[in-house]
Amino acid sequence: MLQRCYMDLIIVVFAVGIVSLLLTVPLSLVGNLLAPKLRDWYSTTSQKRLRTRIESLSNQLSESEREWTFTEAEWAQYRITTQAIAVLCVLANCAFASAFLIFLVTDRLLFTRTHMLHSGEMVFLPCLGYTISLLYYRFVSRSQEWHRRMRTNQGREELKQQLAHLTAKLT
């Protein structure tokens, strides 16, 4: 009876792990795509917020024009390197968390030696690893977006277009 409970727990933890691995990258991409649109929409709901957003974009654009610019090759190298490091860190963290969970579950089921950890802790520790991985990937994605916006010609053009679009809404 007790082993059946642990088997159910293994299935739930395994499912949570697989779902978190599968949804990490798509959800961060969706978040990165929707965040600017929601921010721009919210800034247009009030004249004061719209002016504040226009001022913020103007400051970003002037700061961006004072900064150095990536060449196409430098940007491609930077983007690929940061994404590869982020993905490797996420995969390593998830692998260690999963290995820890597998060790705990098999040790507890086969040998019943691990009495110090309860079921909640067995689920919490790997989920903590998955959460840290997701937060790190989100940080790297935002940092890369900031560098693209501030240090590439394409990012500067997008800033100019966004500024022109919001300025047109102001009048």
**Selection from 122, 161, 130 nearest residue 27 by Cα:** 130
- Residue ranges of alpha helices (H) inside the chain are 2-43, 47-66, 72-106, 119-151, 153-170
- Identity of the residue numbered 151: R
Q: Please say if the pLDDT value at position 21 is more than 70.
A: yes
Tell me the three state secondary structure of residue 58. helix
Q: Which structure tokens are listed for 34?
A: 């929707």
d(CA 163, CA 149): 13
| pTM of the predicted model as reported, rounded to 2 decimal places | 0.57
The mean pLDDT value for 16-42 works out to 80
**117 in helix, strand or coil?**
coil
What the block records as the tokens of 53 is 């957003």
Residue 143: is its pLDDT beyond 80? yes
Encode pLDDT of 69-106 as tens digits: 888 888 889 989 988 888 888 788 778 777 776 776 67
Quote the pLDDT of residue 111: 55
Of 35-49, 91-105, 131-145, 153-167, the range with the highest mean pLDDT is 153-167
The pLDDT value recorded for residue 3 is 65
Classify each residue of 35-67 as buried b or exposed e, where b means 16 or more C-beta atoms within 10 Å of its C-beta: eeeeebeebeeeeeebeebbeebeebbeebeee
Tokens of 93: 């963290």
Predicted confidence (pLDDT) at residue 44 exceeds the cutoff of 80: no
